[in-house]
Structure 1
């Protein structure tokens, strides 16, 4: 990340390619850069938030199967639009909601909080280390030549997205495959993260008001993880 690129400049340069909006004209994104974090912190509020998310998942799934939940169903349809098979590669919201019913995974304070917000608000949400980005984030359709570093057997391996796949990327390579399926190892959150970048993906039936409410909840929850936490944000609307 060039030192001259402030959070505000970074967010201003982030973009959604028109080819993505051709697939889903209803797509919107809410982006955050959160400074002043301490991922080693373990605020008691995180446990309460995770408990609420787990209870929410059980409530939802008691009413109808996971693939019939309206927000999850919308993302399944979005995956089909670029050739992905949602029953094999589940969007992050579906994967978390399925797991939350029996108990969310515990990773670190940052990851635990954003996973809980994702389930509570039924919205895909990804978090990465801002300082490990090279240039701004862009949502594009892949050529198939881009690099994506994944983990296999505890080691880093380089994969390539499929041509036409919707991916988030920076100047170096893909940071998240299949819109919100799997994040790159290169930009992942860790105990040394002090500034984080978060992406909230939205499709109908999620409204702009619900998207903003989820973003406010994320910032409020993260304000307890660190000292003098400061949030910059940008809303990217539908065309």
Structure 2
């Protein structure tokens, strides 16, 4: 569910979801070259969104920085797509993390849209997007101490606390995708018309890639808008 507080800031947004109900996310050495090639090709395709030599002046970067200026954020927080495009702009090679993350990173780069994912089995109760009350517990990857959400920060959250802070900036260790993930929910964000067009293409291609890689046929896509902010997953 997406809360009214989110639509007050981003009334034209559309958030796309891909539900993958039964998968094996373990590394498969026979498919490693395929994933590496996907990431390599996507890194090259990302250059389309980086025409300006001044990285911060590129349209995608500006759109998301302006979006982040509309709500409370931790100092230095940037959209996940900025982090990926920055690495692509600097000529870095992307190394495999796990199949699900590799697939959505390749799509994120190719379409210049923020992508993320959660282990569905580790979400406690309902999955929400909205303004934080402040103090929602959050343990990022590798952290030993709590880094709670700030009041009025836009977060994904469940009954046990924050899942992802500042939209898709930083992921909680509790629900992150691992090789042990067997059911997942992947997310692509769009906050205006041009992003929505790319995001729709992106989520459809992500479904195709996931269906092919995991050899499944029961994945499903849905999207949430201000006029349709709820969806139930059986």
Q: TM-score range by the shorter chain?
A: 0.7 to 0.9
Q: Alignment partner of 1:225: what SS?
A: helix
2:26 aligns with one of 40, 46, 56? 40
Superposed counterparts of 1:90-101, under 5 Å: 90-101=78-89
Q: Give the TM-score of the pair, scaled to structure 2.
A: 0.86
Confirm whether residue 235 of structure 1 aligns to residue 223 of structure 2: yes
Aligned length in residues: 222
Confirm whether residue 169 of structure 1 aligns to residue 157 of structure 2: yes
Q: Give the TM-score of the pair, scaled to structure 1.
A: 0.85
The answer for the alignment partner of 1:22 in structure 2 is: 8
Q: Alignment partner of 2:43: what SS?
A: helix
The answer for the alignment partner of 2:101 in structure 1 is: 111
The answer for the alignment partner of 1:130 in structure 2 is: 120
The answer for the alignment partner of 2:231 in structure 1 is: none
Cα deviation for residue 64 of structure 1 reads 4.3
Distance, in Å, in 2 between the alignment partners of 1:177 and 1:39 is: 24
Distance, in Å, in 1 between the alignment partners of 2:74 and 2:119 is: 29
The answer for the alignment partner of 1:7 in structure 2 is: none
* 8 A contact 2:46–2:112 mirrored in 1: no
Confirm whether residue 65 of structure 1 aligns to residue 54 of structure 2: yes
Q: Which runs of 5+ in 1 are unaligned?
A: 1-14
Greater mean deviation of Cα atoms: 217-226 or 139-148: 217-226
1:75 aligns with one of 44, 54, 64? 64
* 8 A contact 1:36–1:229 mirrored in 2: no
Cα deviation for residue 174 of structure 1 reads 0.5
More strand per residue: 1
CA RMSD of aligned residues (A): 2.0
* 8 A contact 1:79–1:85 mirrored in 2: no
* 8 A contact 1:149–1:184 mirrored in 2: yes
For residues 27-76 of structure 1, the C-alpha deviation after alignment (integer angstroms, 9 at most, x for no partner) is 11011211232222443442232112110233433444332232332211
For residues 94-115 of structure 1, the C-alpha deviation after alignment (integer angstroms, 9 at most, x for no partner) is 0011112322242111111111
For residues 195-230 of structure 1, the C-alpha deviation after alignment (integer angstroms, 9 at most, x for no partner) is 111111101243544322111110111123323352
